[in-house]
Amino acid sequence: MLNISSVAATPVQVEVPAQDTYQTRLQAGELYQLRFRLKTQLQFMFNVNVDANLYCDPKIDSKDFALEVDSTHDLTMNMTCTREQEELGLMDGYTYQMRNRNMRYQEGFCVQIKTNATEQYQIQAKLKIKA
C-alpha cells in the first residue's frame, strides 16, 4: 500500500474556498491536498487514476484527514464527508446505546465512499485522522 507519510513529493494543493463539492481526476502516485472552505483538509493518495466527485459538509470545521487507496483498476469514486450520520447514531460526539453496548463517537467526521468497483476489483483503503 502507498503511504502518504513516506511520499517526499510536494502535494498538489487545491483550494475549494466557496463550494462544498469538487469534481476532478486524481492521477496515480500523486499526493493531493484539498482544503474545503479554508477549513477541512483532505489528503489523497491512490495507486490508480480516479475520477472523483467529492462533497464535504462545511459543518465538519477545521480538521485534517488522509485517505490512501490501493486498487487493481482505475476507479470512479463518489465521496461524501459529513459531520454526523444519524442512521448510525453518530451525532456530534454524544454517547448512544446500541445493541447493549455503549458506543461513543467524538471526531465529528463520517465518510461514505462509493466506487464503480466490481467483484473483480480488489480495493484497500485506509483513513487517517490527524489530531
Mean per-residue pLDDT of the chain: 81
**Of the listed ranges 57-71, 80-94, 116-130, the one predicted with least confidence:** 80-94
If one compares 69 and 109, the residue with the highest pLDDT of the two is 69
The pTM (predicted TM-score) of the whole model is 0.73
DSSP secondary structure letters along 35-93: EETTTEEEEEEESS-EEEEEEE-GGG-S-EEEEEEEESS-EEEEEEEES-BGGGTB-TT
> Could you give the C-alpha distances from 130 to 2, 5, 33, 40, 69, in angstroms and in order?
18, 12, 13, 11, 17
Confidence of residue 51 (pLDDT cuts 50, 70, 90): very high
Average pLDDT value for residue range 10-21: 91
The pLDDT score that the predictor gives to residue 131 is: 56
Average pLDDT value for residue range 24-38: 93
